[in-house]
Amino acid sequence: MKEEIKNCQNCKKDFVIEQEDFNFYEKIKVPPPTWCPECRQQRRYAWRNERTLYRRNCDLCGKSIVTIYSPNKNLKVYCIKCWWGDGWDPASYGKDFDFSRPFFEQFKELQSLVPRIAVFNKNNINSDYTNHSGDNKNTYLSFCAFNDEDVMYSSWIMKSRNCLDCSYVYDAGERLYACIDSRKSFKCQFGFLLENCMDCFYCYDCHNCNNCFLSSNLRNQNFVFKNQKYSREEYLKKIEEYNLSSYKIRQKLYKEYLDLMVKNSIHRFVVSERNINCDGSMLFNSKNTKICFDSDSVEDSKYIYSVISLKSSMDLYHIGWGTELAYEIHGSKGYYNCQYCNHSADNTNMMYSDSCQNCANIFGCICVKKGEYMILNKKYSKEEYEKLRGKIIKHMESTGEYGEFFSPSISPFGYNETQGNYYMPLTKEEVLARGWLWEDKVPGIFGKETIAEEDIPDTIEEVSDDVLNTVFKCNVCTKNYNIVPNELTFYKREQIPLPHKCPECRYKERFAIRLPRKLWHRKCMNVGCENEFETSYAPERPEIVYCESCYNKEIY
């Protein structure tokens, strides 16, 4: 098989382009990449502000709105109603292409003119403080949330109810707290890799279990305490030894929980279920897919991150629902034959465009709705469009721009506002040295706390409704935070003590538990087994990692 080794223009490390990659690039008529896969993903991360919210006024109706764009950015921002309304025309900002100047320079100028939508939300009820979300009700400070109700402080959560501080929860999660990578579970707290579980606390990798506590690697079990089976009466007596409404006791349990996962559990080399000829982790129902993470129903694709329902594509991040022949795209859905695009939905034959909806045959456009045959937001006939598009591509080839995703230097966000700051963190000095952007005025209030940490009630029973008027200080980042009514109701119902960390630091804590989106070549750690595999567990990590065969023999 033919392959070619290239040197990344960004990090200067060598990377491999395989024959199947060349076949795909030829099929969609784009040049091979000059950045390595990891740097290409970092570039897409730098265009995703998922969690950093601001207050500013809509530039059309003047109302105060929640938005992902800070007030000091030189951008026009419209509220959701105004942006989708008929009070403005994206084509009115159309520009002629100037062949004496680089494409990205002209694209950046257009960015500052065309109104952007405040947040990427759709069909939400009482869920203003969300982003990249839709069809939610009473959802607060949650991101990538879809078809949820009464969900708070969560991310990548779908079809769930009454959940708080959860990440990557799918399909009918209910009354969950601090659960990660879990499905179809009910009334569980501090669970990781739970499926069809109920009343499980501080458990790792458990399926079809109920009433389990500080246990791991269980299947079809109940009344298990620290991986020992008990009668119902014995189990309940064990649980009664813990006052779960106490913050101090919860802190001790959390340390035991982390030790359980790291030191006392067997770890499957990847989480990969119902897949054929795939590699990656947290991958489900997929076929012929390589280097793929946090995805479901992917076929014939490569370098895929956080995707649902996809065919024949490469280099995508947060893409969903019926996309095919897509390349170098972030934050979109319903694409066919689109390349180098950002934050768009339901488009066909589109290139180098941002925040466009229901369009076909457009190039270099921003925030166009139902557009066709447009370049830099200007309308053309089909013949004019095709001729000019071809000339612009040749011009971009001569300037070295064609075949590359948008640079972080023209992103509408500072790097520290984006997911890049979580997955590939850089210091401000490192970011600025690359010519990328940094936001100094990120939201946050400090020094306004009205209670010291040592004075926070230890148990939830001691907490009165007066706490809703209290300002707390995060014991990690020192940012102030408060407790809102629905949150307090949740804590009281589930017997959970008040948190001592702000929602953002709680998210980072969950984020740190999940594995990186990388693969390392390793051997099975079961004595006597010689199987080798690609795994998300780096060689220096302390976990016990087994191949599929050894894992199944031990667990089932």
Residues 371 and 350 sit within 8 Å (Cβ to Cβ): no
Which pLDDT does position 322 carry in this prediction? 87
- Residue 345 phi, psi (nearest 5): -150, 140
Residues in contact with 409: Cβ distance below 8 Å, sequence separation at least 6, in sequence order: 434, 435, 436, 437
Kindly state the tokens that stand for 92.
């009115």
pTM, two decimals, is 0.95
Cα–Cα distance between 552 and 556 in angstroms, integer? Answer: 6
Which pLDDT does position 358 carry in this prediction? 96
* Ordered mean pLDDT values, 10 residues apiece, the chain (556 residues): 88 96 96 97 97 97 97 95 96 98 97 96 94 96 96 97 96 95 97 98 98 98 97 96 97 97 96 96 96 96 96 94 94 94 95 97 97 98 98 97 96 97 97 97 96 98 97 98 98 98 98 96 96 97 97 92
**Per-residue DSSP letter, 472:** E
Residues in contact with 531: Cβ distance below 8 Å, sequence separation at least 6, in sequence order: 523, 524, 547, 549, 550
Report the largest interatomic distance among the alpha carbons of the chain, rounded to a whole angstrom.
Answer: 81
- β-pairing, 198-207 vs 180-183, is unpaired
Which pLDDT does position 320 carry in this prediction? 79
Look-up: residue for tokens 């050894």?
Answer: 550
Which pLDDT does position 213 carry in this prediction? 98
Which pLDDT does position 302 carry in this prediction? 97
Cα–Cα distance between 166 and 501 in angstroms, integer? Answer: 15
Residue closest to 147 by CA, chosen among 180, 177, 170, 119: 170
**Per-residue DSSP letter, 548:** H
- β-pairing, 372-375 vs 378-379, is antiparallel
SS3 (DSSP) at 386: helix
Residues 428 and 417 sit within 8 Å (Cβ to Cβ): no
Cα–Cα distance between 173 and 146 in angstroms, integer? Answer: 12
- The DSSP string of 347-365 is EEEEEEEES-BS-EEEES-
